[in-house]
A and B are shown apart, each in its own frame.
Chain A
Amino acid sequence: MLYYSVKRFGLALLVAVVVSFLSFQLLFLASDPAIALAGEAATEEDIIAIREFYGFDRPVLVQYIDWLGRFIRGDFGYSYYFNLPVSELILGRLGVTFQLGLVAVLLAIVVAVPLGVAAAIRPNTIIDRTALVISVLGQAMPSFWFALVLIVVFSVNLRWLPASGADSWQHFILPTIVIAYFAMPAIMRLTRGGMIEVLSADYIRTAKAKGLRPFKVLFKHALRNAIIPVVSLAAVQFGFMLSGSIVVETIFAIDGAGQLAWESINRNDLATVQALILLFAMIYVMINFLADLLNAWLDPRVRVA
């Protein structure tokens, strides 16, 4: 297990370095940052001055190492648009998005896994069909539309929950539901498919032959094996939630990292965009690393691989 963990960690680190270099590079490929920073009325001299001031004229590798070094020390640069150090700008908002994504993915798991199991036990019955309809709806319905429906029903008509802002936990209920519903179908389908496959495995027949009760057969012997790929999927989805919650954060006016990313891209706020991209990438790599560890813990065959 230790050897496996170290190996996975090394791999994660390698991916992190490559991803950080690419995200650093991508920005230069998209547009010349000096021209962007200088603005439309700038002269040729202004641009050259800016280029020198920011060090954009140095070799790429030097710039990258310099940038990475500052990044590791927690210095993410200064946002001229927001007039704040980027680190200050990001930290609180990242926390909001992180919480939202985590709770949403947990909610999705809590709903989707039992639903998938129920559908797998009785394939092609009313339970299975209902689960299928729910999951197809979740995939077909655009998030913004579902969000608006929830707002109309629960905020405008029933007045149970606030429609926008992030001041209390009540504010997070609707956005969490929207994100969770988006994540749910894939988890449900994977659980259902995995369970159907596992339930026909020989070792399930063995478990029954030993006289174990159906509950134990289902949850100890079947689900444990069917859940392994679901763990990886949930991790990927969580990473996706972080960077993909722009729509939801905008609709519910939540000051999260998604909204910040959207705004800083529009404003050409280079330092913020870079910091966000790198942070998202690092979080993503870390989540996948943790999912790998969880997988190894769940599946003893992986540990030796």
Chain B
Amino acid sequence: MKPLLEVEDLVVDIPVAGGDLHAVRGIDLSVEKGETLCIVGESGCGKSLTSLAIMDLLPTKARRHAARIAFDGIEIQSLRPRQMADMRGDRMAMIFQEPMTSLNPSYTIGNQLIETYLAHRRTSTKEARDRAIDLLERVGITAAASRLAHYPHQLSGGLRQRVMIAMSLMCEPELIIADEPTTALDVTIQAQILLLLAELQRELGMAMILITHDLGVVARVADKVAVMYAGEIVEAGRATDVFASPSHPYTTGLLECIPVPGKTAPGARLGTIGGIVPSLVGDVAGCAFRDRCRFAAPTCAEPAPAQTASVGHSYRCWFPEGARMPSTVEGLVHGH
């Protein structure tokens, strides 16, 4: 089956003082219809820029090129801006990291929901309004009809993000990109929102790219996982495979950072990965993780090759996975 979204060798460069910031350095992604791909990785590794590149919403100064960005077989890089605009919000939608500022303060949420629908469907305002009410109810907002007249500043962050979710669903997109949709929210409602998203996605049969820091969530909802580090995907595969046999030292390190109920002793310090990400301004040579990697060897100064752990499970590292047995993994993580 042809994937819904195929990204091949995506590069995003941002000109900064002192040269180009290579924020995204040649990544490949594919998402099948109805599938959930989770992208994980620490702050600044290029997750948001990747999703903005797919939506063609990068900041003006950023430059994007890719061998291929195909949505349902359509190469979006060759679309005219108008055609791309028609696709956005209709077939592919996005939920952003910042619910507090992602809605226009000057218009009611009803206005903003309805205009999304009217931008893509030839229909009456009345019908768009009914759809807006319906969706607000589906994302768990009570008294939906009266909420339409509210302005964003009258809603809490959690409600705003629910409105954003409803807005992204207005036209029943085939792909939804959720970029850390809960990072800015209270811990207590983070799980609610994520579960809501996963539930809606299953119900509507959408494909989803979910960007998150929360590996616990990934374990629950992901079909596939891509682990990003310094602008590259260092490991990708089916979630079960990646969790069962993490093959890149960075992935192993991330997994060590999650508290496991029953296993992690109460009060025990969780693992953190020591060291800092190298600067991506100018040329980046070799494996970007080597300064933080326990297994680093002189060969790591050369670009790491793509290796295959199992069917559909790949990683970028000089060493075959056998080199890192669970016992050695512990040494990688500080303060365990």
Give the nearest-CB partner of B97 in chain A. A202
Please name all residues of chain B whose beta carbon is closer than 8 Å to the beta carbon of A212 when the two chains form the complex: 85, 89, 115-116, 119
Stretch at the interface among B99-107, B130-138, B251-259, B274-282: B99-107
Which 10 A-B residue pairings sit nearest by Cβ, starting from the closest?
A211-B89, A210-B89, A211-B88, A202-B101, A203-B104, A300-B151, A210-B116, A202-B102, A209-B94, A206-B102
The one of B55, B82, B105, B120 that contacts A225, using a Cβ cutoff of 8 Å = B105
Q: Does B96 make an interface contact (CB < 8 A)?
A: yes
Q: Does B202 make an interface contact (CB < 8 A)?
A: no
Chain B: residues with Cβ within 8 Å of the partner, total of 30
Report B's interface with A, CB cutoff 8 A: 55, 57, 59, 81-82, 85-90, 93-94, 96, 98, 101-107, 115-116, 119-120, 151, 153, 164, 167
Report A's interface with B, CB cutoff 8 A: 200-203, 205-214, 216, 220-221, 224-225, 298-301, 304
Please name all residues of chain B whose beta carbon is closer than 8 Å to the beta carbon of A220 when the two chains form the complex: 115
B88 near A209: Cβ-Cβ < 8 Å:
yes
In the assembled complex, the CB of B109 is this many whole angstroms from the nearest CB of chain A, namely 11
What's the Cα separation between A209 and B88 when bound, in Å? 6
Given the contacts A202-B98, A205-B96, A210 and B167 also touching, CB distance less than 8 Å: yes
What's the Cα separation between A1 and B152 when bound, in Å? 17
In the assembled complex, the CB of B35 is this many whole angstroms from the nearest CB of chain A, namely 21
In the assembled complex, the CB of B103 is this many whole angstroms from the nearest CB of chain A, namely 6
Give the nearest-CB partner of A204 in chain B. B104
A211 near B106: Cβ-Cβ < 8 Å:
no
A208 near B103: Cβ-Cβ < 8 Å:
no
B101 near A211: Cβ-Cβ < 8 Å:
no
Given the contacts A202-B96, A213-B82, A301-B153, A208 and B106 also touching, CB distance less than 8 Å: no
A213 near B85: Cβ-Cβ < 8 Å:
yes
What's the Cα separation between A83 and B39 when bound, in Å? 85
Please name all residues of chain A whose beta carbon is closer than 8 Å to the beta carbon of B119 when the two chains form the complex: 210-213, 216
The one of A203, A211, A298, A301 that contacts B103, using a Cβ cutoff of 8 Å = A203
A207 near B104: Cβ-Cβ < 8 Å:
yes
19 contacting pairs across A/B (C-beta < 8 A): A202-B101, A203-B102, A203-B104, A206-B102, A208-B85, A209-B55, A210-B88, A210-B119, A210-B167, A211-B87, A211-B88, A211-B119, A211-B120, A212-B116, A212-B119, A221-B104, A225-B105, A299-B106, A300-B105
Please name all residues of chain B whose beta carbon is closer than 8 Å to the beta carbon of A301 when the two chains form the complex: 105, 151, 153
The one of B59, B85, B101, B120 that contacts A203, using a Cβ cutoff of 8 Å = B101
What's the Cα separation between A221 and B107 when bound, in Å? 9
In the assembled complex, the CB of A295 is this many whole angstroms from the nearest CB of chain B, namely 11
Please name all residues of chain A whose beta carbon is closer than 8 Å to the beta carbon of B87 when the two chains form the complex: 211
What's the Cα separation between A224 and B106 when bound, in Å? 7
Please name all residues of chain B whose beta carbon is closer than 8 Å to the beta carbon of A214 when the two chains form the complex: 81, 85
Please name all residues of chain A whose beta carbon is closer than 8 Å to the beta carbon of B59 when the two chains form the complex: 200
B57 near A208: Cβ-Cβ < 8 Å:
yes
What's the Cα separation between A201 and B101 when bound, in Å? 8
Please name all residues of chain B whose beta carbon is closer than 8 Å to the beta carbon of A216 when the two chains form the complex: 115, 119
In the assembled complex, the CB of A43 is this many whole angstroms from the nearest CB of chain B, namely 68
What's the Cα separation between A246 and B57 when bound, in Å? 51
